Structure 1
Amino acid sequence: MVEKLVYIVGPTASGKTKISNNLAIHFNIPILSLDSMQIYKEMDIGTSKPSYDELKNIKYFGIDIIGIDFHYSAAQYIKYAKEVISKVSERLILIVGGTGLYYDGLTLGFSKIPPMDKRIRENLFNLYKENGIDFLYQKLCEVDNEYSQKIAKNDLKRIIRALEVYEITKKPFSFFHKEKDIEPLDLQNKKFGIYLPRKRLYNTIDKRVDLMFENGFIEEAEILYKKYINKDLPALKALGYFDLFEYFEGKISLEKAKENIKQKTRNYAKRQLTWFKRDNDIKWLILLNENEYDIAKNIKLDNFNEGKLKRKKNRLNFENIEFELKEFINSTKYYEFILENNVVEYLKNEIANFMKD
């Protein structure tokens, strides 16, 4: 019976999966995926699911639980997660991923938002096709400016869902985020966030996208493109697939599609960080190489006596790593500078002590 939870969250490509897999094997505990796209079957390469061997050797939940042509809400995920946690025999479970809405549902609770209305949704899709996504986003700003500021301007899935709820209830989507009808998980927990310095994170993202293409992402996307007529299915809005669909239709080149995927993934990583930094209970593990760690040690010593930090134009240069780290830790409550190669051992000790309490 699960008594305790350990969350490991953060931006895509920051190393969460590798870290958590090592921990799961060491402690012989399961992992609940906190990823809104890995829930879908058939989408393996594009969503960077754990490998076949990883799924074979580790007890994973939240992977391949629904077909692409089904709508799956955050409330359904919360219900699924609670069922998993109530049934597994281990005392502790790792909850790992980067979907902020799922995380909020588990840690803060969730409201009973009205279910999808097919007629209203079709009308909104028609408005999108006739007028474009900017038109829909502007409508959202008019009826729910608060929620519009939390999502990307090109996030069609969430824009349509928010407008749909408003049409049904005449209340803004943000209203339902404040009304908690579904209770959060009431178990002891520890929360860890993984932070990789920006330049190295973006390099990792670019390499991951290149590797996805080498491993057959184009072929996977082409199968889905031919199989599913409705390209507006929420699942097919996952990062990368839409851009390859545009390539298949001759709208952009393959190189442009690849570059778009890299840029959109970097933008998504930024939004994930912004989302998770709102939770002051997360302890951020800042993963550094030796040169970065030497700089970080001096940052800890100066105790931030520089007053308000001033932005620099080119923050991706290594010379500005000190500024980047200062900016990040000034926006968080709990953090730890850690040599990247030591993070698994650090978390082993943290979790072992947590299990003893």
Structure 2
Amino acid sequence: MSSKPPIVCLLGPTGTGKTAAAIAIAGRMAASVINFDSRQVYADFPLITAQPDAEEQAACPHLLYGFLATEEKMTAARFVELAVKKIEEVRAGGRLPILVGGTGLYLRSLLSGIAPIPEIPEEIRAQVLARVKKDGPQVMHAELVKTDPDYAAKIHPNDTQRNARAAEVFLATGKNMTWWHTESEHTPAPYDALKIGMKIRLDDLEPHLANRIGSMLSHGAIDESRAAYAKCSDRNAPGWTGIGCAELLGFLRDELSLEETRYRWVKNTRAYAKRQITWFNKETDIHWFTPGENDRIADLVETWLAERI
């Protein structure tokens, strides 16, 4: 039995029903959902990033969804700061915090401690940003494959923010991101976490992802991206680097046909889900379920909480 405050963490690849599982738990007890998906924080892309819809959000409080402007960036350090604040607010209200998402680095940073990366000198940051604008994030990703293959495997070649961050950290410290995340001294958050994962074969998940993307396109994803573009047309803005957003931006700029947009969106989403599966398979102390086993998941949470008393 732990004296640390309890939190539940629902994790796994995109499209595996984590939100539905969280709502099932909230149907048994007072609980609030806290997002730890790096893309679902953006206010302009609720449909494209598959944020919980109005009906789901009405089932219980949902926090840290859709609050960030497209031009703002989210980091693991900023997430930890926001998440700790929300966890304490939820606990103060007598509710159970349920963290839901698929950004493994954010959850690991919360539970195991954030990497104490020093402040990057402004001249190095400016140098890296100039390179990104000149050469593009793909060139920097190719370099990252050589200096930090493990971290390169976790991020998309088009992800301007993370590729630039990895480059500036390596230039400034001489250590790559994998070293900072695994070897440096971290201070973990003081929580007792029950980690619950959604387990599914990638080949079984892929058709669902393709159908979901088709539904998004049918239900306004293009209009959503067009409205976001009217507010922020900078293709290097952090919000535009996410999967789905990046492909639709190419469509809006007449660089991709609608069919090519759909194809790349599905392909890149599948690749992202594969990276998520690989990441979470390396995590420890996860109770695995198949998507849809929501009653069994809620049973486990109730039993776990009862044993802590």
Q: TM above 0.5, one fold?
A: yes
Gaps of 5+ in 1: 288-339
1:7 to partner: Cα distance: 1.1
2:66 corresponds, among 55, 64, 67, to 64
Q: Please say if residues 141 and 157 of structure 2, whose CA atoms lie closer than 8 Å, have aligned partners that are also in contact.
A: yes
Q: 1:223 to 1:276 in 2, by over 3 A?
A: same
Check if 1:353 corresponds to 2:309. no
Is the 1:37–1:47 Cα contact (8 Å) retained in structure 2? yes
* Aligned-residue offset at 1:240: 0.9
Instruction: Give the equivalent residue in structure 2 for 1:52.
Output: 54
Q: Could you give the per-residue CA deviations for residues 7-43 of structure 1, whole angstroms, max 9, x where no partner exists?
A: 1110100111112122223322111111111112122
With over 3 angstroms needed to count, the CA separation of the structure-2 counterparts of 1:215 and 1:122, relative to structure 1, is farther
Q: Cα–Cα, structure 1 residues 132 and 64, in superposed 2: closer, same or farther, change >3 Å?
A: closer
Cα 1:246–1:227, aligned 2, differ >3 Å: closer, same or farther?
same
Contact kept? 2:159, 2:242, Cα under 8 Å? no
Residue in 1 that maps onto 2:101: 97
Alignment correspondent of 1:211: 215
88-97 or 7-16, which deviates more:
88-97
Could you say what secondary structure the match of 1:27 adopts? coil
Cα distance in 2, alignment partners of residues 205 and 116 from structure 1: 38
In the alignment, structure 1 residue 127 sits paired with structure 2 residue 121:
no
- Structure 1 residues 182 and 254 mapped into 2: Cα distance closer, same or farther (>3 Å)? same
From 224, 234, 237, the counterpart of 1:233: 237
Native 8 Å contact 2:23 2:59 kept in 1: no
User: In the alignment, does 2:41 pair up with 1:13?
Assistant: no
Say which one has the larger Rg.
1
TM-score, L = length of structure 2: 0.89
CA-based RMSD: 2.3
Contact preservation (8 Å) 1:109, 1:180:
no
| Secondary structure class of the residue paired with 1:26 | coil
Give the aligned partner of residue 3 of structure 1. Answer: 5
Q: Secondary structure at the match of 1:355?
A: helix
Q: 2:99, 2:183 → 1: CA distance?
A: 24
Number of matched residues? 303
Q: Could you tell me how far 1:286 is from its partner in structure 2?
A: 2.9
Which of these residues, 269, 290, 295, is aligned with residue 265 of structure 1? 269
Alignment of 1:138 onto 2:88: no
CA 149–208 in structure 1, closer or farther in 2 if over 3 Å, else same: closer
Q: Distance in 2 between matches of 1:136 and 1:219?
A: 32
Measured against aligned partners, the alpha-carbon deviations of 1:284-317 in whole angstroms (never above 9, x if no partner) come to 1134xxxxxxxxxxxxxxxxxxxxxxxxxxxxxx
203-212 or 189-198, which deviates more: 189-198
Higher relative contact order (CA 8 A, sep 6+): 2
Evaluate the alpha carbon distance shift between residue 132 and residue 40 of structure 1 in structure 2; reply closer, same or farther with a 3 A threshold: closer
- Post-superposition shift, 1:115? 4.6
Closer/same/farther in 2, CA of residues 36 and 146 from structure 1, 3 Å limit? closer
Q: Distance in 2 between matches of 1:27 and 1:35?
A: 24
Residue 79 (structure 1) aligned to one of 75, 78, 81: 81
Q: CA deviation at 1:282?
A: 0.8
Which has the larger displacement, 72-81 or 134-143? 134-143
